[in-house]
């Protein structure tokens, strides 16, 4: 029997949260444009997430240089391109003040999203992470907005310490616990690499935990044993695609050979299967 995919936004959001309670972690690929969203849908994934860095790259920019309106339009385009639940990498809510974060989340409700994430990174070099008190208030405001209407968006709260060189596990856990109390549905501390640290996070909270794939980190099977509910890849797929393009272009420019055409044929076949 073919699995039925929910069709309304509210049903997609409910289904998205249910996917975090399965026996195996939800594998959460991050498309960077409509084409990659359709491609990943065709490959049998159960939910998708935008990537702020991958989206920025399609605009010729670095991560953090996309505006709120651009992120909302991107989320709407990807949500419309697939029947799967889509969650948005909503950076820090594109604001500092809790009320402004809530306003951004409210704006996201009309995009067709099933969920979104809000991080505690400020975007400033001098103070890269919000004070815990303000960070908790921001997540509480985001949760109130995400859960207020007929579409109950799944809110993921992100503790960004490890991405900014603040390898303080105790503070990271304290932040995730505070975000849980503030109403977050899913918790996420990108940058964790050891099984011990991941286990400590999972056993310290009562919400599903997302882990970012890392080169030296545990495999999906190992993450499942640790109790992880979701595994995402961030901008990795987007930048792997860019690396393939760089390699092909460099071969063409420097060697004048066409070894990349074999991979291009395979890619064309995959696109025809996905888009046809």
CATH of the domain at 149: 3.20.20.60
Q: Which residues contact 19 (CB under 8 A, 6 or more apart)?
A: 26, 46, 47, 85
Note the pLDDT of residue 4.
55
CA distances for 179 relative to 20, 56, 87, 144, 187, angstroms: 18, 27, 18, 12, 8
Residues 133 and 266 in one domain: no
Residue 250 lies in a domain: yes
Residues 257 and 165 in one domain: no
Strand order in the sheet with 115-119: 26-28, 230-232, 209-212, 186-188, 154-158, 115-119, 86-89, 48-49
Q: Give me the number of domains the chain comprises.
A: 2
Residues 251 and 156 in one domain: no
Element (H, E) at 156: strand 154-158
How many Å from the N-terminal Cα to the C-terminal Cα in the chain? 23
Residues pairing with 110 in the sheet: none
Residues 175 and 196 in one domain: yes
Domain range for residue 243? 236-276
Residues pairing with 209 in the sheet: 187
Task: Render each residue's pLDDT in the chain as its tens digit; 276 residues.
Answer: 335 567 899 999 999 999 999 999 999 999 999 999 999 999 999 999 999 999 999 999 999 999 999 999 999 999 999 999 999 999 999 999 999 999 999 999 999 999 999 999 999 999 999 999 999 999 999 999 999 999 999 999 999 999 999 999 999 999 999 999 999 999 999 999 999 999 999 999 999 999 999 999 999 999 999 999 999 999 999 999 999 999 999 999 999 999 999 999 999 999 999 999
Residue 3 lies in a domain: no
CA distance 208 to 188: 9
In the 8-state DSSP scheme, what is residue 43?
Answer: T
Note the pLDDT of residue 5.
66
Residues 198 and 272 in one domain: no
Residues pairing with 27 in the sheet: 231
Note the pLDDT of residue 1.
30
Residue 1 lies in a domain: no
Residues 63 and 178 in one domain: yes
Residues 143 and 276 in one domain: no
Residue 41 lies in a domain: yes
């Amino acid at each position: 029997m073919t699995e039925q995919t929910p069709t309304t936004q509210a049903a997609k959001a409910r289904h998205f949260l249910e996917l975090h309670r399965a026996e195996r972690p939800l594998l959460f690929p991050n498309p960077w444009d409509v084409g990659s969203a359709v491609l990943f849908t065709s490959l049998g994934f159960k939910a998708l997430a935008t990537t702020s860095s991958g989206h920025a790259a399609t605009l010729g920019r670095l991560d953090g240089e996309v505006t709120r309106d651009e992120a909302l339009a991107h989320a709407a385009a990807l949500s419309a391109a697939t029947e799967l639940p889509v969650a948005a990498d909503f950076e820090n809510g594109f604001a500092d003040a809790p009320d402004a974060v809530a306003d951004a989340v409210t704006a996201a409700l009309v995009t067709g999203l099933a969920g979104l994430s809000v991080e505690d990174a400020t975007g400033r070099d001098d103070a890269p992470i919000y004070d815990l008190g303000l960070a908790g208030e921001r997540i509480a405001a985001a949760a109130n907005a995400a859960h207020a209407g007929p579409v109950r968006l799944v809110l993921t709260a992100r503790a960004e310490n490890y991405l900014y060189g603040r390898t303080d596990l105790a503070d990271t856990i304290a932040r995730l616990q505070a975000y849980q109390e503030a109403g977050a549905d899913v918790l996420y501390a990108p940058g964790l690499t050891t099984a011990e640290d991941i286990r400590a996070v999972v056993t310290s909270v009562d919400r599903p935990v997302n882990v970012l794939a890392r080169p030296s980190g545990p495999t999906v099977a190992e993450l499942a044993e640790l109790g992880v509910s979701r595994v995402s890849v961030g901008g990795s797929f987007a930048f792997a695609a860019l690396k393939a393009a760089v390699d092909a272009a460099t071969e063409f420019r420097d060697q004048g050979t066409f070894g990349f055409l074999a991979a291009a044929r395979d890619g064309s076949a995959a696109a025809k299967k996905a888009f046809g």
